[in-house]
Amino acid sequence: MLRDLAYLFYPIYCAACDSPLYSNERLLCTSCRHELPLGNFHYVNAKKIEKVFYGRVKIENATALFVFHKDGLVQNLIHNLKYRGREEIAKELGLWLGSELCQLSEYQNIDVVVPVPLHTKRLRERGFNQVEKFGIEIAKKLDAEYINKVLKKSSYTSKQSKRDHMNRWINTAETFKVINESLLENKHILLVDDIVTTGATIEACVQELVKIKGIRISVATMAITE
Ligand SMILES: [Zn+2]
C-alpha cells in the first residue's frame, strides 16, 4: 500500500509512451512492451542489417533490438534516454538484448564489449554515455569484459537534434582513435551504439579497430532506422 501511495505522489512514466505506469509495471507499460517494433535481426534477418556494412567494413555479426521509425515509440524512448537523463532505459534494453544474444552461438564467443564513445565535451554536457549501461548489461549476459577506454572520439559534431539533413553527411567526418590497443588483440569484440542510421559512425570506429592484430568485430545497437 505504501508503494502504491508513493506512486500517487511520484508517478513514474512509461519510457516509451510517457503514460503513468501501474505499480506492477517496470519502466515500460504493458502495451509498449508488446508494441515496440523488435528487429529480431539476430534470429531471422541478420543479412538485412549486415548488408548496411557490405563493401565498407568487415563485420562478423550485426544486430539491433528495435527498428526506429520517425515519431514512433523508439524515437521517444531514445529521446527520454539521451535528453531526459533516463539512463535506466539503457540498462533495460541491454538486459533485453543481452538475454537473447547469450543464447546464440554467434555471440557466445564475444570476449569484450566496447561502446562507441562520446566526445569528452558531449560527455560533460550529458553527464553520461547513453550506451554505457546498455553495454555493461550485454557484457554481463555474454560473460564478456566491458572496456570503455579503447576508443576515443576526436572530432566534435553539432547536436544531433539540431542537425538538418545536409549536416548529417558532414557528420560522416567524425573520427575515432584507438588507445590501449593491446587490450583488444586477438579478441572478438562487440561494438555497441544507440542507433544506426547511415552506419557511418560504426564504419568510422571499425576502420580504426580493424588495424588491431587478430581482432574480430560484431555490432549490436539499440535500434536501426528502417
Ligand atoms: Zn508505454
Q: What is the pLDDT of residue 214?
A: 96
Of 40-54, 81-95, 135-149, 195-209, give the lowest mean pLDDT range.
40-54
Task: Outline which parts of the chain fall under CATH 3.40.50.2020.
Answer: 37-225
Cα(14) to centroid(ligand 1), Å: 5
Cα(156) to centroid(ligand 1), Å: 34
Cα(115) to centroid(ligand 1), Å: 27
Cα(132) to centroid(ligand 1), Å: 23
The CATH code that applies to domain 37-225 is 3.40.50.2020
Of 11-15, 134-138, 220-224, give the lowest mean pLDDT range.
11-15
All cell numbers assigned to 172: 560522416
Cα(96) to centroid(ligand 1), Å: 16
Cα(29) to centroid(ligand 1), Å: 4
Of 27-41, 50-64, 132-146, give the lowest mean pLDDT range.
50-64
Cα separation values, 20 from 16, 42, 97, 136, 201, Å: 11, 32, 25, 28, 35
Q: Could you tell me where the DSSP H helices lie in the chain?
A: 2-9, 30-35, 46-50, 73-83, 88-101, 105-108, 120-126, 132-142, 165-170, 200-209
Cα(80) to centroid(ligand 1), Å: 12
Provide mean pLDDT across the span 110-122.
95
Residues 62-89 pLDDT 10s: 999 999 999 999 999 999 999 999 999 9
pTM, 2 dp: 0.88
* Burial per residue of 174-190, b for 16 or more beta-carbon CB atoms within 10 angstroms, e otherwise: bebebeeeebbeebbbb
Cα(20) to centroid(ligand 1), Å: 8
Residues 145-193 pLDDT 10s: 999 999 999 875 555 545 555 555 555 467 899 999 999 999 999 999 9
Cα(73) to centroid(ligand 1), Å: 8
Residues 3-50 pLDDT 10s: 666 655 666 899 999 999 998 999 999 999 999 999 999 998 777 777
Residues with CB under 5 A from ligand 1 (ion): 14, 16-17, 29, 32
What would you report as the CA-atom Rg of the chain, rounded to the nearest whole angstrom?
Answer: 18
